[in-house]
């Protein structure tokens, strides 16, 4: 009985670790919209600035 319990515990530990690796190294399933680069439309706050926009 104790041997069966140890084998089940080892199996559960291996499954837990394996599922973690699968979650970390699987491809992304994020479905974010492709919005691209947004232009900066504001002003620079630190005057005097060395850049003339």
Cβ neighbours around 3 below 10 Å, total: 7
Q: Residues 2-11: what's their mean pLDDT?
A: 95
Give the DSSP letter of residue 38: P
Contacts by 4-9, CB closer than 8 A, 24 or more apart: none
Between the alpha carbon of residue 11 and those of residues 8, 19, 26, 34, the distances in Å are 5, 12, 22, 42
Higher pLDDT, 7 or 35: 7
The yes-or-no verdict on residue 45 having pLDDT over 70 is no
The yes-or-no verdict on residue 50 having pLDDT over 80 is no
Residue 21: what pLDDT? 94
Residue-wise pLDDT for 8-38, tens only, equals: 999 999 999 999 999 899 887 777 777 777 7
Residue 49: what pLDDT? 54
């Amino acid at each position: 009985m104790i041997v069966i319990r140890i084998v089940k515990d080892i199996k559960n530990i291996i499954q837990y670790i394996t599922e973690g690796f699968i979650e970390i190294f699987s491809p992304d399933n994020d479905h974010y919209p492709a919005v691209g680069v947004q232009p900066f439309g504001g002003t620079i706050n630190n005057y005097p600035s060395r850049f003339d926009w």
